[in-house]
Structure 1
């Protein structure tokens, strides 16, 4: 048996980015097996904050941003300058199709209805939007070969701006979605 400490924020949002990073640092002090951290950061700012706070060369940080075209045709939500800045400190940036929407969203936008992945996403949102994002970016990164499947990693997410959720999970490739294991919630909003 193990007793774990979970940080709960009053509500979701960017107001908790700094506190979330402190909770992540505390967890990394005891979770020595974590070698990869995924962070959902559209602009890269939260990823840079995380790097500056933990500064651990044994941990690979991967920033997962929106896919090109998410906000508008041929538009990237993260600047080339920020991507270069992140690369200069050793952070990779991945811009890929969202695992729980992607092309399926194009079908439902045109024809209506829902995708089975909408049900998965909404089920994870019952915990928090950040839990859904953490699971989603781990699928995306695993499918891109950026994190090893079958090895515990940390995934950080939120909603819109900033981050408010961190989990430890074992990622899988998307074809094995229901084999993903969420082991621990480090922090999440209560509301």
Structure 2
């Protein structure tokens, strides 16, 4: 399923807090631009970078990409500013050194369309090395995910299971309704 662009309001606002990630910010933005969902806006909030991050974002030409700069106040402030500027009913956070799977937004939108009572969801993460190659999913990481899955299947509440197993390891896994 490919969801096309809209001439009006975006369906998803992708908030990218950025600080000194000149080596990664382009790949993060490109991963959103390569999304199967095209009706989005990208709000990069640069948190006072001292490297070439701002220059790199400015070089990227896409009308859905907006850059905001601020003095260094921390990732939480950059995220909060991006969320406050978001025009879409859905918000996805993407840290500037992470990447989205091409179908991430699509899969979240489908999940929420099928379950309208949901206000938020989180995706699994896949760890990658700096060169983009995946970290093998055997061993400890597979065990941690298995623990989360088993404890939830065993009757624990989802949130308790996720917190106890530290499965919500990054804000990049979150997808939230703006009204939430």
TM range (shorter): 0.3 to 0.5
Whichever structure has more helix as a proportion of its residues is 1
Larger Rg: 2
